[in-house]
Amino acid sequence: MINTNYPAILVLSPLLAALMCSIFSWCAKKLCYPTAIISLGISLYASIEVLMQVMDTGTIQYRMAGWAPPMGIEYRIDLLNAIVLLLVISIALINLVASYQSVNQEIGKKSNTFYAIYLLFVTGLVGITATGDLFNLYVLLEITSLTSYAQIAMGDKDRGPLASLNYVFIGVIGASFYLLGVGYIYIMTGSLNMVDVASLLPSLHGSSAVLVAFIFCMLGIWIKMALFPLHVWLPNAYTYAPTVVSRILAPLMTKVMVYVMIRLMITVFGFEYLFEKLNLAEAVVWLATIAILAGAIMAMAQKDLKKMLTYIIVCEIGYMVGGAWLGNELGMTGAILHIVNDALMTFALFLALGNIVYKLKSVHFDNLKGLFGKMPWTMAGFVLGAFSIIGIPPTCGFFSKWYLILGAFEKGAYHFAGALIISSLLCAVLFFRIFEIGFFNNEHDEHNTITMSEAPVSMLIPLGLVSLSLIITGLYSSSIVNKIILPFLQ
Amino acid sequence: MSEILPIIVAKYNYWLYIILMMIGLYAMISKNNLIKKLVGMNIFQTSIILFYVSIGYKTNATIPIIENAHGDSHSPHELIIHAADYINPLPHVLMLTAIVVSVATFGVALALAVKIYQRYQTLEEDEIRMRLTEE
């Protein structure tokens, strides 16, 4: 009984816990945090079980309430979903453990209701990843967006609500475009189930309505994932959010959107349509190239560590979009591997950043002087994350970049390969500038010795785990590729 | 002109939703007041809801409740159901969800506007930007 229901438990556990949290926030405040932890623990267990099942027996098709597709909503979990699900839930759980003190410090007495919103946000992300229905995806996308608007507004008192409202305007346009695209797909096929739509679309490839549907869906998703010219909402929203929120938004929100793009490309529209019927691929790879360079260059101009990292996210989005649109197996492998790797390394960097914010309050470059002396463990995690972003082996960032560059060469997209290498160099410059400030700029070193004031242990252990996982995923990346990504692509 | 007119008349629902959508987008981009932007956002979302509602419609069809389906009539040929007689309910049902989503978004956005007003005592975007550069 329970074996077959894991896909439902994945989503229901945080959803019900969110309800319980909002009740507990009136009557039993102390129970909120444990409820959140337990529900995510259950979800994590379910996601591991689901991954095992998928690797053993192949794709799981779960019918919600027993209604058969295409009428009912189907949760369809294959190797790609399963790995992204595990990633989403484990990052959400680790973040909740690591950010307990930080939530108390920044959100204070509202922290109990905050946990309810946080759980709803995780529910949305998990649902987006698990669902096999186009309209269901829209609803969950809006759950995720609404909760992230609320969470961002809890941050910086001066700029938080303003950044959040700007995000609302652009997020609504993105989601509405996606909804419009789904409407066109529905007009043409009469179905909303992804697999069903995919079986009906090939006879309609010449239709201009399908083309419009595709363009609207892609535009909507690109706005939500902040691909370069559509990225304007991201840096402010992520910078002025509370630490705990930017820690989960930065690694997961954009990466789940990349997953949705890949899902639409592979499962719904199909490679044949994208790369043989449409002549868009080259233009999108150029767009991604510009996104990578623009993200890296704008990051150079920042004087605030948090804002600099948000521009690096814009740059990383370019990697994944470009890799997916190269249209060969190597590029797609690189893009999928980079979803996992980028989520982990962004998470490591933001965990370290959160520890610094917890102690220093401001992460303007001027405040970072002598940081290696003050917080050696935090900075060790930060250095590992930074190495991974730059792409130094054996950290995981190197391997996905390697696949992306190989894919670019196979396709002959030398501009994309060039952009990848240039952005690695620019990232190296960016991070070594931080290291230099943290290490050497100690004018008053002789007069007052720097006292060590490290973040609490409960914040350091998750950072240690995540930054070690960067090396472990790096070393095992060939088995991830061989066991999960390549069987999925075939 | 004589060729365009039939296209506009035959597919007037699409033209209507495009016009509404552009009005909404225009308000969201060009208006200075945050509440006016929010109204634009709502028009934008409503246009898509109307688009969906219109695609479920068929001429000379009725609501999809089947008459005499519970054994009131004894002659079997009255039970034959023609899909053309009933409008498609699915887009309408989908839009119930979308209406909920748009109301929730509007609520969150209004709450944010209240917070901004409490902080800056204004909802004009250029004045807020001036305040931000002053500080």
pLDDT in tens, chain A (490 residues): 567 888 888 899 999 999 998 888 888 888 888 889 999 999 999 999 999 888 888 888 888 887 887 778 888 888 898 999 999 999 999 999 888 888 888 887 788 888 899 999 999 999 999 998 999 999 999 999 999 999 998 888 888 888 999 999 999 999 999 999 999 999 888 888 888 888 888 888 778 888 999 999 999 999 998 888 888 888 888 888 888 898 999 889 999 999 999 999 988 888 888 888 888 888 899 999 999 999 999 998 888 888 899 999 999 999 999 999 988 888 899 999 999 999 999 999 999 998 888 888 778 887 778 788 788 888 889 999 999 998 888 888 899 899 999 999 988 889 999 999 999 999 999 988 888 888 876 655 555 556 677 778 888 888 999 989 988 988 888 888 888 888 888 7
The gap from C-alpha A47 to its chain's centroid, in whole angstroms, comes to 17
Contact (CB, 8 A) for B56 and B92: yes
Quick: pLDDT tens for B66-118.
766 555 555 555 566 777 778 888 888 889 999 999 999 999 999 999 999 99
The gap from C-alpha A116 to its chain's centroid, in whole angstroms, comes to 20
Backbone angles phi, psi at A206, to 5 degrees: -75, -15
Which one of B25, B115, B135 has the shortest CB-CB distance to A153?
B115
Closest C-alpha among A283, A138, A285, A268 to residue A205: A268
B37–chain A Cβ distance below 8 A for any pair:
yes
Give the side-chain half-sphere CA count within 13 A for A432.
7
Instruction: Report chain B residues whose CB lies below 8 A from the CB of A159.
Output: 132
Query: Would you give the end-to-end CA distance of chain B in angstroms?
Result: 57
Locate tokens 């609320």: which residue?
A: A150
Quick: pLDDT tens for B33-70.
999 999 999 999 999 999 998 888 888 888 877 766 55
Nearest CA in chain B to A171: B105
Q: What is the pLDDT of residue B100?
A: 92
Q: What are the boundaries of each domain within chain A?
A: 279-490
Q: What is the pLDDT of residue A39?
A: 92
- Here the tokens at position A474 are 């790096």
Report how far apart, in Å, the C-alpha atoms of A241 and of each of A6, A150, A155, A167, A355 are: 33, 10, 4, 12, 15
Locate tokens 């453990």: which residue?
A: A97
Which one of B25, B48, B115 has the shortest CB-CB distance to A179?
B48
How big is chain B, counted in residues? 135
Neighbouring C-beta atoms of residue A270, cutoff 10 Å = 18
Nearest CA in chain B to A134: B94
Nearest CA in chain B to A157: B119
Closest C-alpha among A246, A251, A256 to residue A307: A246
Residues A409 and A381: their CA atoms lie apart, in Å, by: 33
Q: Do the chains contact at A150 and B108, CB–CB below 8 Å?
A: yes
Q: What is the pLDDT of residue A183?
A: 92
A411-421 in b/e form (b: 16+ CB < 10 A) is bebebbbebbe
Q: Do the chains contact at A173 and B116, CB–CB below 8 Å?
A: no
Which one of A139, A159, A172 has the shortest CB-CB distance to B45?
A172
Which one of A139, A150, A165 has the shortest CB-CB distance to B116?
A165
A161–chain B Cβ distance below 8 A for any pair:
yes
B106–chain A Cβ distance below 8 A for any pair:
no
Which one of A161, A168, A186 has the shortest CB-CB distance to B105?
A168
B113–chain A Cβ distance below 8 A for any pair:
yes
Residues A355 and A375: their CA atoms lie apart, in Å, by: 9
ipTM of predicted assembly, 2 dp: 0.90
Q: Do the chains contact at B51 and A176, CB–CB below 8 Å?
A: no
| Helix residue spans in A109-159 (DSSP H) | 111-130, 134-153
Instruction: Report chain A residues whose CB lies below 8 A from the CB of B37.
Output: 169
Q: What is the pLDDT of residue A62?
A: 86
Residues 164-223 of A with CB under 8 A from B: 164-165, 168-169, 172-173, 176, 179-180, 183, 186-187
Instruction: Report chain B residues whose CB lies below 8 A from the CB of A237.
Output: none
Helix B12-30 and helix A160-189, axial crossing angle in degrees, nearest 10: 170
The more confident residue out of B30 and A64 is: B30
Locate tokens 């900075």: which residue?
A: A379
Instruction: Report chain B residues whose CB lies below 8 A from the CB of A187.
Output: 55
Burial of A464 (0-12, 13-18, 19+ CB in 10 A): middle
| Helix residue spans in A154-253 (DSSP H) | 160-189, 194-200, 208-225, 233-239, 243-248
The contacts of residue A363 (CB under 8 Å, 6+ apart) are: A304, A305, A306, A353, A356, A357
Backbone angles phi, psi at B89, to 5 degrees: -80, -15
- How far away is chain A from the Cα of B74, in angstroms, using its nearest Cα? 30
Q: What is the pLDDT of residue A92?
A: 92
Burial of A380 (0-12, 13-18, 19+ CB in 10 A): middle
Q: Do the chains contact at A161 and B128, CB–CB below 8 Å?
A: no
Q: Do the chains contact at A176 and B91, CB–CB below 8 Å?
A: no
Closest C-alpha among A455, A259, A256, A470 to residue A359: A455
Q: What is the pLDDT of residue B72?
A: 54
Three-state secondary structure string covering B45-66: HHHHHHHHHHHCCCCCCECCCC
Residues B78 and A8: their CA atoms lie apart, in Å, by: 42
Which one of A139, A169, A176 has the shortest CB-CB distance to B37?
A169
Q: What is the pLDDT of residue A349?
A: 92
A64–chain B Cβ distance below 8 A for any pair:
no
Q: What is the pLDDT of residue A258?
A: 93
Contact (CB, 8 A) for A144 and A92: no
Q: Letter for the amino acid at A130?
A: A
| Helix residue spans in A264-370 (DSSP H) | 271-272, 281-300, 305-325, 329-360
Chain A to chain B, count of Cβ pairs less than 8 Å apart?
A: 67
User: Domain B4-58+84-134 has what CATH class?
Assistant: mainly alpha
